[in-house]
């Protein structure tokens, strides 16, 4: 599966992320959550590998600490042609399939109104209470 590009044999320490930098050397940086410490400082170069990268390959540091590469699991050329075909189909479908949707009117909610008979009964009750209060007040005075 993976082919070793450069045999380096880097010893890993806990809390560090090891990677291949832009220049093709093995570098390490503090992990944000690894080893229980906060990341401090800049990335450090661990070993000079001088690996020149090729397009279509993924480069990584394997378990033994060597630089290895694997062919990327994506077909760039095939995807572009497939996208073009689907784009053409979409434009053809849009011209025939588009129709204006009829607008729906939102139904208005009716406010709950009390019936006049209930209103009158409520008024009578309050009037009776008032008269009863007046009578009790008069009795206390006398």
Name 26's bridge partners: 20, 47
Asked if residue 18 lies in contact with residue 10, where contact means CB atoms within 8 angstroms, the answer is: yes
Report if residue 103 sits inside a domain.
no
Banded pLDDT at 84 (limits 50, 70, 90): low
Report if residue 94 sits inside a domain.
no
Report if residue 34 sits inside a domain.
yes
Report if residue 18 sits inside a domain.
yes
What's residue 121's pLDDT? 85
Which tokens go with 65?
A: 């600490």
Alpha carbon separation from 101 to 89, 97, 98, 104, 108 (Å, rounded): 23, 12, 9, 9, 21
Report if residue 42 sits inside a domain.
yes
Report if residue 45 sits inside a domain.
yes
Q: How many domains does the chain have?
A: 1
Report if residue 100 sits inside a domain.
no
Q: What is the pTM of this model?
A: 0.48
**pLDDT tens-digit profile of 17-74?**
999 999 999 999 998 876 666 667 789 999 998 899 999 999 999 999 999 999 998 7
What's residue 96's pLDDT? 61
Report if residue 10 sits inside a domain.
yes
Supply the range of the domain harboring residue 22: 3-71
């Amino acid at each position: 599966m993976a082919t070793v590009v450069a045999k380096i044999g880097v010893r890993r320490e806990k809390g560090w992320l090891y990677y291949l930098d832009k220049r093709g050397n093995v570098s390490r940086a503090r992990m944000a959550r690894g080893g229980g410490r906060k990341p401090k400082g800049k990335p450090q170069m661990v070993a000079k590998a001088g690996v020149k990268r090729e397009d279509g390959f993924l480069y990584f540091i394997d378990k033994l600490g060597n630089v290895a590469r694997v062919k990327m699991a994506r077909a760039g050329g095939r995807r572009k042609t497939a996208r073009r075909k689907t784009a053409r189909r979409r434009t053809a479908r849009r011209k025939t399939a588009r129709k204006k949707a009829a607008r729906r009117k939102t139904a208005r909610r009716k406010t709950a109104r009390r019936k006049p008979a209930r209103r009158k009964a409520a008024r009578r009750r309050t009037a009776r209470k008032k008269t009863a209060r007046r009578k009790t007040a008069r009795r206390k005075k006398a």
